[in-house]
Structures are given as structure tokens and as C-alpha cells.
């Protein structure tokens, strides 16, 4: 049997095609080493190869054994949670907005379409090989930027607010891909990674200050992980000091240009901050909503609807804020604390599962993208829960599984789909995806000596 025949017989037993390349190379290397050893011992080349191949053992048995190991895995826990929570989320949204849904039956149809769309996106990402983010990180970055900004421009022309801002969260896994492409390239790569972080933060800032802070923090977390794992081959302490300086300057700049302005105390954003930090003092103004939520939550029951909330005695009719980010608050008021705890437990279960997927990853790209997905889920769920308690700055954040917006549903579906894809390919993508593939601009500089 020749070397090629042996390797072919082994790989034919392995059903997952993408797992074959790494195994082929490893076996070929082994045969080459063994052949060299026999040649060193005085064997002719042909004989050395024949003996080396014979020593490898039965190719079919080896292939069958490797096939058993290298199979796509299905994360039943995450799939089950995504499916059940999406359906429950749909019913919960219908229940808390029953009045609105009854008046506008088209909302119900829209919600069903969004549900199906999110299942479609999740399935699409699940079957896609997530390593494409590592290969085409820059291309995807540009594509995402075009999508987000075109939709924002269209919305601005119509005089409405863009609803696609949630798509900005997809920058986070793409940034993970960029960090992956920059690894092992020293200090220049560190500068490039920080530059990309600042550009991404500013791009997000052009749409929303809230998103800007979120994206900046999330990218920071990924960057710190990359440095900590030695991706840039630079001293951790030096890098952290350097990074801390950049981060402090940038945060100061955000604060100065974003919040502090002439007449700042009357500015809308400053008022919002003051209303959050001192709601009692600004109870008639920016602090009103915080006080309203806190007072309403004092009236809730463990099981069943809060009388005050249902009567509208605390609110005089309407809720003083958009209802969508406050689904959890509504659930607690209408169904009791127990229902709220169940919703929080559902989010916690998804976050814990996402964290478990991150921890399992041996592949560097898989690890970093999974970490990006985890960070997005963790930050939004935590912020949402705190915000619904009336103790955190009110923003337009959206919960996973509980959104009425198509872009939010697509974003979270893509994030969960990516986690499923990473888990699925865990035992397949054993070697790092080639750094040579993807789009790269080549510049040749010729230096001539005169």
C-alpha cells in the first residue's frame, strides 16, 4: 500500500469533510518522519516508505476511530433554550401588549414573521462555518458598516429613527475576527487593534452614544483577552499600561465631548444622567421615570397583577417611557415577581450556556468569537435587568427573545447561531484556519542601491 492509498483509506472513513485536511497532514508528516528514520538506518527509499506505511496500522480501523471523534456536535441545550425561549418570548410579548395587538392585528402577523426570521437566521449561522469571520473579517466589517449606515441614511431621509442600530452589536464578533487576523504581528498589530476599536466605537457613536459606550467596552474586553492570551507576543504589563492610558484618554474624551458642553447642566444628555444619579432631586424632570418605576415595583405581588399598576393610580394612565425595553418590568407588574424571576432565570441560563461554550473552545478563533457573543448577551441582559429595576440609566436596550424589532431579533439570532456553529465545529476545526486565505492588499516596495 502506498502512502497516498493509506491516507485516502483513512480519510474516506471520516464523514466530516472539513476534518480531513488536518488529519491528512498529520498522518503524512508521521509517515515522512518514519520513512526518514528507516532511510537513516540504511533502507532504500521505496522500502522505507513501504515499512513506514505498514507500521501505521489498519487504515480503515484508524479512519473509523477518527470518524467517531471528529463529528459535528449538536448543542441540544442551547438549541432547546433558543427555541423554547423564542416561542415563550413571542407569547409573552403578545400577552403584555394584548391591547395593542387587538387594535392592530397586523402587529401579530409581524411578530410571527420576526419569530420565523430569527429561526431562519439562527439556522443559517448554525450551518455556516464560523471561521469565515476569521478569513473575511475586514470584508464583513465594511459590509456591515454599509448596511447599518445605509439604513440609517434612509431612515434620516424619511425623518424617522433608524431601527438597525442593534446590528451594531455584530461588530463585536467581527472585531474578534480582526483581532484573530492581527495576532502574532507584534506591536504594530496592537496599534492596529486599538485603532480598529476606536474606529468602531466612533462609527457606533455616530448612531447612538449608548451604543458607542457598549461597543467600546465590549471591544475593550476582547482586546484585553487577546493581550492576556499573548496573541500579540508583547509583554502583558507593558501592554496593559499602554492600553489603560489610551482607554482613560478615550473615556475622558467621550465624557467631555459627549456630555460636558457649555450650559451642560441644561443639556439633554446631562439631564438624563442627573435624573438617573439623583432621581429624588429631579423627580419632576429627568428623574421622574426612575421614581415611577421604583414606586410601581413597591406595589407588585409575588404572584398576580399589581393593583396600582393595573389601576393606573401611580401613572395616571400611560407609562412614561417606551414599553419595549421594559418588558421585564411589565411582566413583573402584570404577572408578579415569580414570573419576573423566571424570565431572569431564562436569561441567566442562556448566559451560563454561552460562557460554557466559550470555556470549551481550544481553537483560538472559536474562543474569541464565542467570547464576543457571550459579552453581547451578558452586557445586554445585565443592563436590561438593572434598567427594569429602575436603578440603571434608561436606554433603548433590547432583550434577546423579547423584542418587537426585526433587527434586534436578527442580531440576537445571529449571535446565538454563531455560538451554535462554534460548538458544532468544535471537534472539526482542530487546526487554526489558514492565515493566507482572505482578502489582503499586497504592496511590494523595491529598494534600489545607487
Partner 1 sequence: MAIDKALISGSTSMLLLRLLEDKDMYGYEMIETLQKKSNNVFMLKAGTLYPLLHSLEAKNYLISYESEVNGKQRRYYSITKAGRKYLQSRKEEWQEYQAAVLNVLWEAVL
- 290 Cβ partners below 8 Å, 6+ apart? 275, 276, 279, 390, 391, 394
Choice between 26 and 311, CB closer to partner 1: 26
Out of 15, 30, 112, 437, the residue judged to bind partner 1 by CB under 8 A: 30
- Residue where the block lists cell 449538536: 74
d(CA 391, CA 399): 17
- 443 Cβ partners below 8 Å, 6+ apart? none
At its nearest, how many Å lie between partner 1 and the CB of residue 132?
A: 20
25 touches partner 1 (CB under 8 A): yes
24 touches partner 1 (CB under 8 A): no
Choice between 64 and 342, CB closer to partner 1: 64
Out of 27, 226, 370, 407, the residue judged to bind partner 1 by CB under 8 A: 27
Residue 47 DSSP code: H
4 touches partner 1 (CB under 8 A): no
Q: Please, are residues 14 and 20 in contact by the beta-carbon 8 Å criterion?
A: yes
Residue 433 DSSP code: P
Q: CA-based Rg of the chain, rounded to a whole angstrom?
A: 27
The sign of the CA dihedral 83, 84, 90, 93 is negative
Choice between 1 and 310, CB closer to partner 1: 1
The sign of the CA dihedral 343, 386, 325, 280 is positive
d(CA 333, CA 337): 8
29 touches partner 1 (CB under 8 A): yes
Contact track, partner 1, 365-404, x by CB under 8 A: ----------------------------------------
Stretch near partner 1 under the rule CB under 8 A, chosen from 18-26, 233-241, 326-334, 342-350: 18-26
At its nearest, how many Å lie between partner 1 and the CB of residue 226?
A: 16
Total chain residues near partner 1 (CB under 8 A) = 27
Choice between 77 and 301, CB closer to partner 1: 77
Out of 12, 46, 55, 307, the residue judged to bind partner 1 by CB under 8 A: 55
At its nearest, how many Å lie between partner 1 and the CB of residue 410?
A: 33
d(CA 199, CA 376): 19
57 touches partner 1 (CB under 8 A): yes
How many angstroms separate the first and last alpha carbons of the chain?
59
Stretch near partner 1 under the rule CB under 8 A, chosen from 68-76, 236-244, 275-283, 303-311: 68-76
Q: Which three cell numbers stand for residue 169?
A: 452589536
Site residues, partner 1 (CB under 8 A): 22-23, 25-27, 29-30, 33-34, 55-59, 61-62, 65-66, 68-70, 360, 362, 427, 430-432
Amino acid at each position: 500500500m502506498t502512502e497516498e492509498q493509506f491516507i485516502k483509506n483513512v480519510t474516506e472513513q471520516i464523514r466530516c469533510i472539513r476534518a480531513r485536511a488536518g488529519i491528512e497532514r498529520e498522518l503524512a508528516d508521521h509517515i515522512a518522519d518514519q520513512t526518514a528514520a528507516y532511510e537513516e538506518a540504511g533502507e532504500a527509499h521505496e522500502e522505507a516508505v513501504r515499512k513506514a506505511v505498514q507500521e501505521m496500522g489498519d487504515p480503515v480501523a484508524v479512519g473509523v476511530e477518527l470518524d467517531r471523534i471528529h463529528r459535528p456536535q449538536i448543542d441540544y441545550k442551547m438549541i432547546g433554550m433558543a427555541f423554547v425561549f423564542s416561542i415563550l418570548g413571542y407569547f409573552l410579548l403578545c400577552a403584555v401588549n394584548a391591547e395593542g395587538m387587538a387594535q392592530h392585528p397586523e402587529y401579530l402577523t409581524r411578530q410571527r414573521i420576526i419569530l420565523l426570521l430569527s429561526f431562519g437566521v439562527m439556522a443559517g449561522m448554525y450551518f455556516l462555518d464560523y471561521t469565515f469571520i476569521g478569513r473575511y473579517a475586514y470584508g464583513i466589517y465594511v459590509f456591515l458598516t454599509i448596511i447599518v449606515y445605509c439604513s440609517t441614511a434612509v431612515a434620516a431621509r424619511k425623518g424617522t429613527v433608524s431601527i438597525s442600530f442593534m446590528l451594531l452589536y455584530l461588530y463585536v464578533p467581527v472585531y474578534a475576527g480582526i483581532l484573530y487576523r492581527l495576532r502574532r504581528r507584534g506591536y504594530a498589530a496592537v496599534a492596529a487593534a486599538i485603532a480598529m476599536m476606536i474606529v468602531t466605537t466612533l462609527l457606533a457613536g455616530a448612531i447612538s452614544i449608548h451604543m458607542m459606550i457598549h461597543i467600546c467596552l465590549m471591544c475593550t474586553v476582547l482586546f484585553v483577552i487577546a493581550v492576556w492570551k499573548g496573541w500579540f507576543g508583547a509583554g502583558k504589563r507593558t501592554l496593559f499600561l499602554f492600553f489603560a492610558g489610551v482607554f482613560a484618554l478615550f473615556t475622558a474624551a467621550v465624557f467631555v465631548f459627549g456630555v460636558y458642553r457649555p450650559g451642560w447642566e441644561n443639556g439633554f444628555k446631562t439631564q438624563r444622567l442627573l435624573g438617573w444619579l439623583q432621581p429624588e432631586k429631579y423627580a419632576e424632570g429627568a428623574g421622574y421615570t426612575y421614581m415611577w418605576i421604583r414606586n410601581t415595583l413597591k406595589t407588585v405581588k409575588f404572584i398576580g397583577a399589581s393593583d396600582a399598576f393595573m389601576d393606573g393610580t401611580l401613572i395616571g394612565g400611560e407609562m412614561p417611557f417606551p414599553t419595549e425595553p421594559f418588558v421585564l418590568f411589565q411582566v413583573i407588574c402584570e404577572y408578579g415577581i415569580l414570573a419576573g424571576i423566571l424570565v431572569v432565570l431564562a436569561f441567566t441560563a442562556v448566559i451560563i450556556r454561552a460562557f460554557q461554550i466559550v470555556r470549551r473552545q481550544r481553537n483560538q478563533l472559536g474562543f474569541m468569537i464565542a467570547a464576543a457573543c457571550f459579552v453581547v448577551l451578558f452586557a445586554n441582559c445585565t443592563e436590561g435587568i438593572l434598567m427594569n429595576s429602575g436603578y440603571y440609566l434608561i436606554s433603548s436596550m433590547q432583550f434577546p427573545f423579547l423584542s418587537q424589532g426585526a433587527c434586534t431579533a436578527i442580531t440576537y439570532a445571529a449571535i446565538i447561531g454563531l455560538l451554535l456553529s462554534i460548538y458544532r465545529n468544535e471537534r472539526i476545526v482542530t487546526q487554526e484556519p489558514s492565515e493566507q486565505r482572505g482578502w489582503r492588499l499586497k504592496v511590494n516596495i523595491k529598494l534600489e542601491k545607487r
